[in-house]
Structure 1
Amino acid sequence: MGQLVGWIMANSAANRRRNGWVVSLLEIQPTDRVLEIGFGPGLAIADLAGLASQVHGIDHSAAMVRKATRRNSRAVRDGRVRLVHASVDRLPEFGGPLDVILAVNSAKFWEEPAARLRELRRLLRPSGRIALAIQPRCPGADGATTARAAQEHHDLLVEAGFTTIRVETLDLDPPVACLLAINPG
């Protein structure tokens, strides 16, 4: 089942567009150390590997770790990408502060999301950036559904201590909201 879901995710034009868009919003620098949470088939990981000095990824699905590792095999072999079967509530070590953290359509599944975000904030260097992208998938989801989800995620980011929060929107059906925030230090 995981392989089928991964194939669908990897071959969906909307998934490709959404992931590429989120990466473009992050303004990744060549020296950045990045973590993607819930990387699925590794679409954003592939984009990030060409931009950042080091890319870490965690996913709770062993099938997605295998798929993303195959997709990014050269960067994994070169040591630029490290993909781990792990959950956001049991994070591995990343060898120092991170510059950027992103999660595309995964934060809504986290238990105690404010606590998870506080923990992620501790992993970021001062002025480090986080991006949470949301595209609601419930029946009848529309722009209003996306706006409500964005507000919920905004409130969680504030509760976790992030600042300078802005929301960008990608016009898909339903729209995608990406919340970008800063770790004040």
Structure 2
Amino acid sequence: MAHRTSNRQRNSWAVSLLEVRPTDRVLEIGFGPGLAIAELALRATQGHVYGIDHSEVMVQQAGRRNAAAIRAHRVHLAHASVDELPSFDEPLDAVLAVNSVGFWPDPVERLRRLRDLLRPAGRIALVSQPRCPGATRATTARAAQELQDLLAEAGFTEIQAETLDLDPPVACVLAGNPTDGTGRPDQP
């Protein structure tokens, strides 16, 4: 997975859209071989990057890829599931999930839990590159709409979708945590 050019492009693009700042605290769910973790660590130079993955093999691979940042205590990887998130001492600034939401049980409830972990105005990016046989731009558009609907149902706002023209295309759906904490945009 780490050697496929499209995976590198997809992860780098998604991280760039998340607009991670140097002091951010970021969580990636389902980090695989750790490509986006490495990109996030390059951006959150004074912050912390957390990652969970349900595969011990991926935790090991990502650990090797990000060994220096782990030794510097800037990257923290855990063998865990989105069902049982580890504890974070402070609110997160951003969350990233690439090609993993489709495997989550009750994704709306998981997204609500993630929203609770985000600071007000925190950001989330959900990425989907459909890999089903015959996937097209229309397949990606449907996947993006599904992610938008899930985020809206979970109370996120400012939802927007971006597309990266790969084969098949990649959708990144970005959203924000409301600043009033209610699941609704700020009221005047």
Question: Which residue of the partner structure matches residue 38 of structure 2?
Answer: 46
CA contact (8 A) 1:56 1:94 kept: no
Q: In structure 2, which of residues 132, 151, 160 is the aligned counterpart of residue 138 of structure 1?
A: 132
Following the alignment from structure 2 to structure 1, what is the Cα–Cα distance between the partners of residues 113 and 170?
25
| TM-score normalised by the chain length of structure 2 | 0.93
State the Cα deviation string for residues 111-162 of structure 1 (Å, max 9, x = none). Answer: 1000000000000000000000000011111011111111111100000000
Please report how far the alpha carbon of residue 68 of structure 1 lies from its aligned counterpart in structure 2 after TM superposition. 0.2
Question: Which residue of the partner structure matches residue 17 of structure 1?
Answer: 9
| TM-score normalised by the chain length of structure 1 | 0.95
Please report how far the alpha carbon of residue 30 of structure 1 lies from its aligned counterpart in structure 2 after TM superposition. 0.7
Number of residues of Structure 1 aligned to a counterpart in Structure 2 = 177
The letter of the residue matching 1:150 is A
Please report how far the alpha carbon of residue 50 of structure 1 lies from its aligned counterpart in structure 2 after TM superposition. 1.2
Q: In structure 2, which of residues 58, 62, 72 is the aligned counterpart of residue 78 of structure 1?
A: 72
Following the alignment from structure 1 to structure 2, what is the Cα–Cα distance between the partners of residues 178 and 169?
6
More helix by share: 1
Aligned-pair identity in percent equals 69
Mind listing any 5+ residue stretches in structure 2 that lack a counterpart?
182-188
Question: Which residue of the partner structure matches residue 27 of structure 1?
Answer: 19
Question: Which residue of the partner structure matches residue 65 of structure 1?
Answer: 59
Alpha-carbon RMSD across the aligned residues, in angstroms, is 0.5
Please report how far the alpha carbon of residue 64 of structure 1 lies from its aligned counterpart in structure 2 after TM superposition. 0.2
After TM superposition, the runs of 4+ consecutive aligned structure 1 residues lying more than 2 A away are none
Mind listing any 5+ residue stretches in structure 1 that lack a counterpart?
1-8
